[in-house]
Amino acid sequence: MPKTLPKPNPARELVFGELWEFDPAPETADPKLKKRYDLFINGSFVAPKKGKYFPTINPAHETKIADIALADAADVNSACIAAQKAFVSVWGKMPGKERGKYLYRIARLLQDRAREFAIAETLDGGKPIKESRDFDVPMAAAHFFYHAGWADKLEHLAPGRQVAPHGVVGQVIPWNFPLLMLAWKIAPALAAGNCVVLKPAETTSITALKFGEICQEAGLPNGVVNIVSGAAETGAAVMQHPLTTKVAFTGSTEVGKSIMRSLAGTDKKMSMELGGKAANIVFDDAPLDQAVEGIVNGIFFNQGHVCCAGSRLLVQESIADTVLAKLKRRIAVLRVGDPMDKNTDLGAINSREQLTKITDLVQSGVEDGAEKYDTGCKLPAKGFFFRPTIFTNVSMSHRIAREEIFGPVLSILTFRTPEEAVEKANNTPYGLSAGVWTDKGSRILKMSTQLKAGVVWANTYNKFDPTSPFGGFKESGFGREGGKQGLLDYLRVV
């Protein structure tokens, strides 16, 4: 039987067309949302004293989801007083073993309600359901489990010394991983014996306030956790309140600096986890397909709303064209669209404000002379969306190579020698994270000591674990979160 041989294809390009389109696969479970969310103070949900609320919207449809209470200084004051009372009367003197039980209970309740929380997170924040389901919520639970184990072993953190909690801790978290950042903050604080006043980001308050329900369900003593929603003034009130002896902030370097200025002269202990402009360095001996996968994870995970995003790709000049071609082929199959669709890889940009910022910076890249490439994929008519974008011909002086874009935008630079790679990678005010891709083990070790970054990933990117400390060098902040080091930041060594 003669067979027709497929002809060699001189065009030599792959076709990622519409032969097999996926039908919508929406997540449809009920996120159990309320129409209105009050403040969580002293174990119950209370209306703000001035009675003010602000709307929170779904960034994928630009529709209102709920009204969120706006806490002012007076509300923050009640929260801090409740926290102080809980610290003095119950939590601060409770044996670690008992505190651990509450943390285990919270972790399990988060797992029980994982689906509901994942959907709420995606509705409010715009991230793909696949990420909130497979990363944010399980990782948040993992942080509570991990720190639950520490609660009765605190004396091992500083051998030969005594440790004691600070008391009331004020915490302000960002909108990129709302529930996970809450877990990073609250779990170690509670394990150490502190009580908490936490302000979630203005655009993503829902899962934090839902977490209040979990605290109630877990029977956590009143006032141990207090959630005050609001905008910048609310955050400032939390940070500056006289009862907070330790403050922890995750967010932009700009806001971090202003917090530090406002707290100068106080004896509040601080930890700051700020911006980043990480370099992902690919050597010519790296396994390239996996490097490309890591580059994609590094910059397009959570639409690039990641402080440790690998936003600068440093690739060895000899393989730059190969890597770029592979990268283009890879992002051709990324799916941008409805965050609630289980097949969506890139969801919605968190807010109109952020979308404008990304658009402006991309425009500046074009004006500076860098070469822009995007997939040209269709975007939904409504909502805040941005295509995965790659810039080539970027030089170190371009704004897109210096400023944190916090969006799905990758700047590609090249290098010739390892020394040049290190120099370029470190040539930034930030120092949160870096990636190294090479088959050569010794080079990984050497690079990791030379790169001024809090986290250096080798042949992988964006890997997190509760046991691993995370934090920055230089303007990326100070203090660590996760692991033994992170927990120690919530204790006084006496």
Partner 1 sequence: MPTAKAPTSLRRLFDEIGTVDQVGIEERVAKYTTRSLKKKSKVFGLRLAVSMVDLTTLEGKDTPGKVASLCQKALRPHDIGDIPSTAAVCVYPSMVRHARKHVGGTQVKIASVATAFPSGQSPLKTRLAEVHAAVNDGADEIDMVINRGAFLSGEYGRMQDEIASVVEACGTATLKVILEVSELETYDNIRAASFLAMRVIRPGDFIKTSTGKTSSNATLGNNQVMLEAIRDHFLATGIPIAMKPAGGIRTAKQALHFLIAVKETLGDEWLNNRRYRFGASALLNDLVRQLEKERTGAYQAPWNFSEATEGY
Give the containing element (helix H, strand E) for 273: strand 269-273
Candidates 64-72, 94-102, 291-299, 354-362 — which segment interacts with partner 1 by CB under 8 A?
A: 291-299
- Of 12, 35, 93, 261, which one interacts with partner 1 (CB under 8 A)? 12
Q: Which residues of 399-434 are buried (b: 16+ CB within 10 A; e: fewer)?
A: bbbebbbbbbbbbbbbbeebeebbebbbebebbbbb
User: Which is the catalytic residue, given 195, 307, 308, 404?
Assistant: 307
Q: Is 265 in the site for partner 1 (CB under 8 A)?
A: no
Q: Is 8 in the site for partner 1 (CB under 8 A)?
A: yes
Q: Is 376 in the site for partner 1 (CB under 8 A)?
A: no
Candidates 10-18, 45-53, 244-252, 472-480 — which segment interacts with partner 1 by CB under 8 A?
A: 10-18
Active-site residue, 307 included: yes
Q: Which amino acid is at 394?
A: V
User: 229 or 462: whose CB is closer to partner 1?
Assistant: 462
User: 178 or 294: whose CB is closer to partner 1?
Assistant: 294
Give the containing element (helix H, strand E) for 111: helix 96-112
- Of 44, 63, 89, 290, which one interacts with partner 1 (CB under 8 A)? 290
Q: How many angstroms separate the CA atoms of 158 and 488, rounded? A: 8
- Of 393, 459, 468, 485, which one interacts with partner 1 (CB under 8 A)? 459
Q: Is 7 in the site for partner 1 (CB under 8 A)?
A: yes
Q: For 42, left (φ over 0), alpha (ψ -120 to 50), or beta?
A: left
8 A C-beta contact, residue 493 and residue 158:
yes
8 A C-beta contact, residue 195 and residue 170:
no
Q: Is 14 in the site for partner 1 (CB under 8 A)?
A: yes
Q: How far is the CB of 177 from partner 1 (least distance, A)?
A: 19
Active-site residue, 273 included: yes
**Distance from the Cα of residue 135 to its chain's centroid:** 11
Pairing relation of β-strands 36-37 and 39-41?
Answer: unpaired
Candidates 11-19, 82-90, 103-111, 138-146 — which segment interacts with partner 1 by CB under 8 A?
A: 11-19
Does residue 258 sit in helix, strand or coil?
helix
- Of 61, 130, 424, 474, which one interacts with partner 1 (CB under 8 A)? 130
N residues, the chain? 494
Candidates 6-14, 177-185, 308-316, 404-412 — which segment interacts with partner 1 by CB under 8 A?
A: 6-14
User: Which is the catalytic residue, given 27, 273, 404, 481?
Assistant: 273
Residue of 29, 208, 197 lying closest to 124 (CA atoms): 208
User: 232 or 325: whose CB is closer to partner 1?
Assistant: 325
Q: How many angstroms separate the CA atoms of 452 and 359, rounded? A: 29
Write the CA distances from 295 to 301, 459, 466, integer angstroms: 10, 10, 23
Q: How far is the CB of 180 from partner 1 (least distance, A)?
A: 19
**Distance from the Cα of residue 314 to its chain's centroid:** 23
Q: Is 441 in the site for partner 1 (CB under 8 A)?
A: no
Q: Is 2 in the site for partner 1 (CB under 8 A)?
A: yes
- Of 31, 200, 276, 294, which one interacts with partner 1 (CB under 8 A)? 294
User: 192 or 323: whose CB is closer to partner 1?
Assistant: 323
Q: How many angstroms separate the CA atoms of 182 and 165, rounded? A: 19
- Of 112, 155, 289, 353, which one interacts with partner 1 (CB under 8 A)? 289
Q: Is 287 in the site for partner 1 (CB under 8 A)?
A: yes
What angle is formed at CA 142 by the lines to CA 83 and CA 250, rounded to 5 degrees? 55
Joined tokens for residue 97: 């073993």
Q: Is 9 in the site for partner 1 (CB under 8 A)?
A: yes
Q: Is 494 in the site for partner 1 (CB under 8 A)?
A: no
Q: How many angstroms separate the CA atoms of 456 and 449, rounded? A: 9
User: 134 or 155: whose CB is closer to partner 1?
Assistant: 134
Candidates 71-79, 83-91, 281-289, 307-315 — which segment interacts with partner 1 by CB under 8 A?
A: 281-289
Joined tokens for residue 72: 């002012």
- Of 73, 94, 260, 288, which one interacts with partner 1 (CB under 8 A)? 288
Residue of 187, 142, 149 lying closest to 490 (CA atoms): 187
Q: Is 359 in the site for partner 1 (CB under 8 A)?
A: no
Does residue 493 sit in helix, strand or coil?
strand
Which residues carry out catalysis?
A: 273, 307
| Residues within the interface to partner 1 (CB under 8 A) | 1-3, 5-10, 12-25, 130, 134, 287-291, 293-294, 333, 342-343, 439, 459-460
